[in-house]
Chains A and B, each alone.
Chain A
Amino acid sequence: AQTIHQWPVAEIKAVGSPLSLGCTIKGKSSPNLYWYWQATGGTLQQLFYSITVGQVESVVQLNLSASRPKDDQFILSTEKLLLSHSGFYLCAWSGDWGGEQYFGPGTRLTVL
């Protein structure tokens, strides 16, 4: 069975500070990986997706970047946080192009 982990579980950061969020999936070879952002009580906004190591596509610009250094790892980062970055960050995977996606437990980010 596939498992997806995200770290950290929660972060409280200052405006202007850097950020790195991670996601690891086990039990699935060459997954498609995704990053989403969700405001409290809001909808899910896809940020990035990756279909293979080293290849990341941006869906929406939010002063964030993403990288896929390994087949099972997806990293979301920024050098300078904004207040608007606060929210719930979710990593997801799918096995098929365009198929259903399965979400990790998420990281709750508060920017002060």
Chain B
Amino acid sequence: GDSVTQTEGLVTLTKGLPVMLNCTYQTTYSPFLFWYVQHLNEAPKLLLKSSTDNKRTEHQGFYATLHKSSSSFHLQKSSVQLSDSALYFCALSAGGNNKLTFGQGTVLSVIP
């Protein structure tokens, strides 16, 4: 079946530094990839989405590029802010079904 792997459980960074959160996926179908951000005690919100190979997508200073050759969709930001502290999920939709498969999530903690 489909799967999503996020290798980091917790990433702690000082404000102003760059960040990359890893996401790799497995599917036999053409994939749609998403990044969701969930702040404490809130619902997840869609941050980025892509189904186009090798095209960078950006939103709110975050960006990601879907690379089908390596089955990856890593999330990046050039300079993290305190308000970026949250739980980040990578998610996969594939095969035209109604299932969204989530990774385990990565907590990003930004310190002053």
Cβ contacts under 8 Å, B93 to chain A = 98-100
| Contact B100–A46 (Cβ < 8 Å) | yes
Contact partners of B45 in chain A: CB under 8 A? 103
Is the C-beta of A104 less than 8 angstroms from some C-beta in chain B?
Answer: yes
Q: Is the interface of B mostly helix, strand, loop or mixed?
A: loop
Give chain B residues whose Cβ lies under 8 Å from the Cβ of A32.
Answer: 98
Stretch of A37-45, A63-71, A74-82 at the chain-chain interface: A37-45
Binds A, one of B52-60, B63-71, B101-109: B101-109
Are A103 and B43 neighbours in the complex by a CB distance under 8 Å? yes
- In the complex, chain A residues whose CB is within 8 Å of the CB of B39: none
Q: How many residues of A contact B (CB 8 A)?
A: 25
Interface string of B83-98 (1 = CB under 8 A from A): 0000101000111111
Other A-B contacts than A98-B32, A98-B96, 11 sampled, CB-CB below 8 A, are A41-B87, A41-B105, A42-B104, A42-B105, A44-B44, A49-B99, A100-B32, A100-B34, A100-B49, A105-B43, A106-B43
Q: Measured between C-beta atoms, what is the minimum distance from B8 to chain A in Å?
A: 14
Contact call A43/B89, Cβ cutoff below 8 A:
yes
